[in-house]
Amino acid sequence: MVSSVAGTLIEGRISQVRPFRTPHHSASMAALVGGGLKVRPGEVSLAHLGVLFLDELPEFQRAVLDSLREPLETGVVDVARANAHVTFPARVQLVAAMNPCRCGHLGDPALACSRAPRCAADYQGKVSGPLLDRIDLHVEVDPVSAADLGLPPPAEGSAEVAARVAAARRVQTERLAGTKMRSNADLNGDMLELHATPDEPGRKLLLQPPKRCVSPRAAIRGCCAWRGLSRICRGVRGSGGSMSLRR
Ligand SMILES: [Zn+2]
């Protein structure tokens, strides 16, 4: 439907492939969430049921990024104009990438950032806290050295990981059969408690201030963080084929 409205159907056929959209950081608010004179869906709707990848996240205009907060929460975009009021679907997996600081060298032992910590604080401050709060998983990637390039490839390649993800999705589909939910991302309330309640050691671990991998703000996010973390843990355990949610 979205592709049809946007006029991007290839040979008039509905695509069987999930969308992967990568808007440039110069994108306007209308380009990202929809709008314009003749109201058209934005990138967040064109990525519906697929991936919206935002590279160089702090380089986007802050107001443009913040316009994503509501669709990320509700899964829809409301575009209100004088001549039209349109609601587009916008259920996406948001993936974003950014440098640790403007010069990109923070934490790099070979090329230390000369303006730390200001360089990082200014750069990371361009992304608002409420938007970061909606990103459940944060991963720091260490710089790659020349010596790293000579290492043998990892034992588990992309194809193997893709197979594990597909298996986890199948488990989720079976678990949620007969409900309106499709994946762990939809789990909420009673269903989240039923399927993603950790055991006692796991609960204690989740209540500890996070060190890596989860948003530093997660510690103060209360139930939102708890829900996000529980869904992630459910997904990670699911990919390993386990039903229980343990530390
Ligand atoms: Zn720097």
Helix axes 189-196, 223-239, angle to 10 degrees: 50
Q: What is the pLDDT of residue 246?
A: 63
- pLDDT classification of 219: cutoffs 50, 70, 90: very low
* 118 found inside a domain: yes
Determine the distance separating the centroid of ligand 1 and the alpha carbon of 122, expressed in angstroms.
10
The total domain count for the chain is 3
Residue 182: helix, strand or coil by DSSP?
A: coil
Residue 151 lies in a domain: no
In the prediction, which pLDDT does 218 show? 45
- Structure confidence at residue 224 as a pLDDT band (50, 70, 90): very low
Task: With a cut of 80, say whether residue 208 has pLDDT above it.
Answer: no
Residues 6+ apart with CB under 8 A from 212: 139, 140
Nearest-10 crossing angle of helices 158-175, 223-239: 110
User: Is there a contact between 52 and 21 (Cβ–Cβ < 8 Å)?
Assistant: yes
Res 186: pLDDT: 80
Give residue 234's identity as a one-letter amino acid code: R
What percentage of residues in the chain have a pLDDT greater than 90? 32
Q: Tell me, in angstroms, the distance from the centre of ligand 1 to residue 150's CA.
A: 27
127 assigned to some structural domain: yes
Q: Rounded to the nearest whole angstrom, what is the distance from the C-alpha of residue 26 to the centroid of ligand 1?
A: 22
- What is the rounded average pLDDT of the residues 197-219? 64
* In a domain? residue 168: yes
- Domain assignment present for 176: yes
In this structure, the strands spanning 76-81 and 84-89 are: antiparallel
Ligand 1: centre distance to CA 113 (Å): 4
Instruction: Based on the fold, state whether residues 168 and 222 are members of the same structural domain.
Output: yes
92 inside domain = yes
Residue 89 sits in the same domain as residue 11: yes
Mean pLDDT rounded to a whole number for the chain: 82
| Whether 50 and 60 share a structural domain | yes
Is 142 domain-assigned?
no
Separation CA 76–CA 55 (nearest Å): 22
84 in the same domain as 117 = no
Centre of ligand 1 from the C-alpha of residue 104, in Å: 5
Work out the average pLDDT over 41-58. 95
119 alpha carbon – ligand 1 mean position (Å):
5
Q: Which helix (H) or strand (E) holds 80?
A: strand 76-81
- Provide the token pair at 231: 């869904």
Quote the tokens at residue 237. 């355990």
pLDDT score at 155: 83
**Predicted local confidence at residue 221, as pLDDT:** 39
In a domain, 20, yes or no: yes
Ligand 1 centroid to residue 146 C-alpha, Å: 21
CATH at residue 90 = 3.40.50.300
User: What is the domain range of residue 45?
Assistant: 1-98
More confident residue, 65 or 143: 65
